[in-house]
Chain A
Amino acid sequence: MSLLSAIMQHGERVGLSHYRVDNQIWQGVLQHADKTVSLIASWADEDYATMLLLEDELPFLLSVPVEKRRYYAPSMRFLAAQWGERMARDLWGVEPLFALDDRSALDNGSWTLTWPMAREPIPVQGKVHDEREEGYELKAACLAVPGLLDLTYNVSKGLITKLDVHIASGHRGILSQVKGLSPQEALPLISRVSAGGFVAHPLAFVRAVEQAQAKVPLPQERDIRFILLEVERISLHLFDIGLVARCVKADLLATHCDHAREVLAQLCSQYGVSRRLTDTVRFWDEGSKVSEIVPFAQAVTETMQPLLPRLTGLNRLFSSRMEGIAILSPEHVWGYAIGGVTGRASGRYIDMRSMDVGMRLDALRASGRHEGCALARNGQRLLEIRDSLYLIQRIIASLGIEDEAQTIPMTGEGLGVAEGARGDIWYWVKLLHGKIENLQVRDPTQPVLCVLEGIMRGHQPDDIPLALASLGISPAGVVL
């Protein structure tokens, strides 16, 4: 019997795919869940601890009451739960028992409140000890990737032996700022969670809200969202390939990526959308912001297609500089449910677009790789740009085609996912009287942070910028 079927029998159903269980079942899951079950995210507030699990590509939520601010840590079984547990402890003051890592993730002593999301936050007295261990330190400004990521590492004989990731300084308090807002009021803020998903983040949020409200977008609006997501994917893949190219001094490849990305940005503004597609995602009843979607989509495919062979040729030309660098093993991508290009270049071919109602599945042709190195990830990005262009063509050829009508019950809570350029982005939202009572976000960088030490061990410190760029690491969506 699958885990989900067992839980359906023994748990209380509180959402479309959300079950609440008691402590005994929760612990049973942590002890007995097999390899067919992976953890996408975990979070906890003062009332419930929750795991977002995937079994045979079917997502479901499992919650347990938090008692006396404590719960059994999902990281006892699922290693990817560690960041969620650490963040919940900092924000709500809830303790994961037997957790893999009990250090602060967000609160580094600079906040004015302790447990700021708790019902009764505590005004700060004194400073939290900064738990960084001794070692070399690489500050955000020294790294190739934009964003606030600091690393500390130890070196022996010139090679990294230990590495730790610090993201706390980028925490903006987004979860507390959206609490109590209506979804419409929250959307502008959600649209700026991460530039690694100006479309994908708000799309996952809007989908979660629509599920909570039992709404389904019209097929035409659904298709416009698909197209915007693919245009964003192309733009971000170009950014990431260009960043990798700069790290390996392949300036010619970087120049071609810069050029292609700028051409794409100009096309966006020419057709009335913002250069980076900011604020283009709207709710089901608000109508689309993109009035000329077909000419826009045609212009994108006609302009980008001729540039692709040159990019692919240049990537091949510089391949020896990327080959074998920052290898991520299949065991790690499966164990930590790492998705996106990073997962697919290491043998975990899971693409959440295949779950989207109305998706033209035949357009998703890239089959993935297994080498798991910087070269494999760049190659995968180029194949996915090819697929995105094909997918856009397929969509405009049948824009607004009806799919099987779904009726979903109104539950007041919803789970939304969007396959962004750097992986699957998940939002869980709970509404109360039309306002956001609870919101949780899972960005694809989160599981990658868990495996960074394993990837970098045995590499020279000089390889760090290339590894980060190649893995598409962007902390903004994790740190919130």
Chain B
Amino acid sequence: MTVRSGPSTLLLALMDAYRWRPASVKNRAGSIIRLYPIETGSCEGCAMEISALNGSTIPLEGSGFQIVKAPEEADWLLVTGAVTRSRIGALAEAWNAMPQRKSLVAIGACAQNGGPFKADYATLGGVEGLIQVYRSIPGCPPSPHEIFQALLALAEG
């Protein structure tokens, strides 16, 4: 294996990154939609896909979305996980902190209905039935591309 580092590595790496950059969906109508992900107890698979959604293979920001660090700044709450009894307070707190005209999107089977984790002494089993869910994105886990496409479709109404 030949390993080069230095200016040539940097240049070639930059050229590759430029070549791979995903095309934005420029014509999406409306203003920027700010997304706040919240994890509520899971295998972390969907949370890892959200991390990938916010990475460089998906044109999230170029297509009118932005991941934000506080629920106060968010339009949509992206929920992952089966909602443990311990996390229901944090979920409610985040929801209440969001400005008006907010929406909740359940990402993955867990957030939808608990997925593989059934309701028990520690878990409530998803957001369905707990809170008004705007939309669910199925999958276990859904891919970042599927999440992105679903977000675009939701944004277009």
Q: Residues of A at under 8 Å CB distance from B?
A: 108, 110-113, 116, 121, 139-142, 146-148, 168-174, 176-177, 188-189, 191-196, 198, 239, 242-243, 251-252, 254-256, 258-259, 261-262, 265, 275-276, 278, 308-310, 312-314, 316-317, 386, 474, 476
Contact = CB atoms under 8 A, between A and B. Distances in A.
Nearest to A176: B120
A195 B87 contact: no
B12 interface: yes
B16 A147 contact: no
A54 to B, nearest CB: 27
B86 A476 contact: no
A186 to B, nearest CB: 10
A74 B89 CA distance: 35
Contacts of A265: 143
B57 A262 contact: yes
Contact of A239 (B16, B48, B87, B122): B48
A259 B3 CA distance: 19
Nearest to B4: A313
A112 B10 contact: no
Contacts of A308: 1
A142 B69 contact: yes
Interface string B48-72: 1011100111000000000001000
Contacts of A192: 42-43, 45, 115-117, 140
A146 B51 contact: yes
Contacts of A142: 69
B44 A252 contact: no
Contact of A148 (B41, B121, B140): B41
B17 A252 contact: yes
Nearest to A106: B122
Contact of B122 (A110, A191, A258, A312): A110
A147 B39 contact: yes
B112 interface: no
B24 interface: no
B13 interface: yes
B79 interface: no
User: What DSSP secondary structure best describes chain A's contact surface?
Assistant: helix
A121 B120 CA distance: 13
Contacts of B121: 111-113, 116, 121, 173, 176
B113 interface: no
A111 B1 contact: no
* B interface bracket (residues with beta carbon within 8 Å of A): 35 or more
Interface string B16-38: 11001000000000000000011
B125 to A, nearest CB: 10
Contacts of A172: 41-42, 82, 84, 117, 120, 122-123
A146 B39 contact: yes
Q: Which of A110, A141, A146, A174 has the most CB of B within 10 A?
A: A146
Given A262-B52, A474-B44, A255 B84 contact: no
B38 A141 contact: yes
A256 B16 CA distance: 8
A255 B17 CA distance: 7
Contacts of B50: 146
A110 B84 contact: yes
Given A110-B84, A278-B140, A146 B48 contact: yes
B2 interface: yes
A181 to B, nearest CB: 11
A108 B42 CA distance: 17
B122 A111 contact: yes
Contacts of B51: 146, 239, 243
Contact of B13 (A112, A116, A139, A313): A313
Contacts of A194: 43-44
Contacts of A255: 17, 20, 55-56
B90 interface: yes
B85 interface: yes
A259 B9 contact: no
A309 B16 CA distance: 13
A310 B44 contact: no
A98 B39 CA distance: 36
Given A147-B44, A172-B41, A276 B141 contact: yes
A106 B20 CA distance: 44
B154 interface: no
Contacts of B13: 252, 256, 310, 313-314
